[in-house]
Homo-oligomer: A and B are copies of this chain.
Amino acid sequence: MNNAKALPSYLLQRYQGWKATGYAENQTWYRRLAAEGQRPRAMVISCCDSRVHVTSIFGADQGEFFIHRNIANLVPPYEPDGKQHGTSAAVEYAVNALKVAHLIVLGHSSCGGVAGCIQMCQGKAPELEGQDSFVGRWMDLLRPKYEKVENVEDPAEQQLQLERQAVMTSLENLMTFPWIKEKVEDGTLSLHGLWTDIGEGSLEYYDAKSGEFEPV
């Protein structure tokens, strides 16, 4: 591998600033985390989107959340076929090795992955249809839910509803993992579905009783 480059200088400068301040002030905590290992309370499954910082929203510090981020915060169903499943590996490590108490799926507004899924389902994104489109194949996970929103006329409302379906899909798929189902049923693990509006800073949660998303 001879193509890697040194860090851009603006990042180098920011790193040195953090080292002299954020790190220096919390050195004892970093050393303890290093010596004793992590023991996070929750796993958060969030989108890669640069506008969603789960650590900001919840004032979380180093050591609190085990965080997996992928396109559209999707969890595939349980499929132990011996192949690579990065999301399932992250969930397995959190639940079985770290024994987190909470699995939180966090969706968000203006999700590019969800928008691409709608385009695909409406036949407007041939570039996502091929075997060589990883984004397209990944969004196939959400595709069956499009029928629940296809009659919504307002595009913004349709997008929002499919974003919420993405959160619900992940919650449903999490329950197909036998060791998650068991822990949820015996009360040692709880699942949470959230959706945040980037522009408004609002937060909604999936209410299992009403089957709707409600403001927190």
Contact yes or no, B135 A92, CB < 8 A: yes
Tell me, in angstroms, the Cα distance from A208 to B20 when the chains sit together: 17
In A86-102, which residues have CB < 8 Å from any B CB?
86-94, 97, 99, 101-102
Contacts of A101 in B (CB 8 A): 28-29, 31-32
Contacts of A65 in B (CB 8 A): 50
A33 within 8 A of B: yes
A182 within 8 A of B: no
Size band of the interface chain A makes with B: 35 or more
Contacts of A90 in B (CB 8 A): 48, 69-71
Interface string of A42-62 (1 = CB under 8 A from B): 110000111111011111111
Contact yes or no, A138 B85, CB < 8 A: yes
* Identical copies in the complex: 4
Contact yes or no, B31 A187, CB < 8 A: yes
Tell me, in angstroms, the Cα distance from A92 to B94 when the chains sit together: 26
A26 within 8 A of B: yes
Contact yes or no, A21 B31, CB < 8 A: no
Contacts of A120 in B (CB 8 A): none
In A163-216, which residues have CB < 8 Å from any B CB?
168, 171-172, 175, 184, 187-194, 197-203, 205-208, 216
Contacts of A66 in B (CB 8 A): 48-50
Contact yes or no, A38 B51, CB < 8 A: yes
